[in-house]
Amino acid sequence: MTNVAIVYYSATGHVHQLALAAAQAAEKAGAEVRLRKIGEAVPGQDTADLLWIDRTVWTEHTDATAEIPVAQLADLEWADAIMIGTPVRYGLPAPKLMEWIDTTTDMAIAGKLHDKPVTAFTSGDGAHAGQETAVLGLHNTFCHWGGVIVPNGITHEVISKRRANGCPYGTASHSHQKQPGIVPADNIAAVEYQARHVIEIAAALGRGRAAA
């Protein structure tokens, strides 16, 4: 059985829905899944006070996901494959997620993340609003980890034949602030494929190591 850690940050629910869909798809594929969120250091202050986030929406999402465990470094060490989800912030991954990733330094130097298949997904308010660069920004991190980057590519039907799923780097949703937590069905299908794909790569690597 493949262990999959899905770690994400979400302020209003879009990335949460992608992460949840990925977790469900991974479980259906036979994987053991840990769905983990990045917590709020100071609830209601650093995120909800931003002018473009509706405080009511933020509070409702925070309350609705209260039962989801906060990510720990042990979740990454446990995992055979890793999925990281983030909203777009000025074309980059969310600062709260990157603050947590900064804590992986000792793990990375010790080689505990080396050769692990890892992939990223995102959501941003607006078409071409930095989704691709946010995913590629996480790819930089994965290179420092020594991870095996697993992109979506363009060959699968859900990516190549769906108008809303053109990003080959990882699932990139076009979210709407006035529709919190609502993700297009095509994007859900894309992240489900992404979860299955990273599991397949992890399983193949596992078989290769066992044969060697």
- Quick one: tokens of 191? 């992240």
pLDDT tens figures, 36-72: 999 875 444 555 555 467 777 777 878 888 899 999 9
Are 55 and 90 within 8 A, CB to CB? no
Are 34 and 56 within 8 A, CB to CB? no
DSSP 27-70: HHTT-EEEEEEPPPSSTTTTTTTSTTS-HHHHHHHHHHTTTSPB
175 falls in which pLDDT band (50, 70, 90)? Answer: confident
pLDDT tens figures, 67-88: 999 999 999 999 999 999 999 9
163 falls in which pLDDT band (50, 70, 90)? Answer: low
Predicted confidence at residue 191, as pLDDT, reads 96
pLDDT, mean of residues 151-165: 83
Are 152 and 193 within 8 A, CB to CB? yes
Calculate ∠ Cα 125-35-142, nearest 5°.
70
pLDDT, mean of residues 127-156: 94
Sequence-ordered list of residues with C-beta below 8 angstroms from that of 19, at least 6 positions apart, any chain: 6, 8, 10, 35, 37, 83, 85, 121
pLDDT tens figures, 178-207: 677 689 899 999 999 999 999 999 999 999
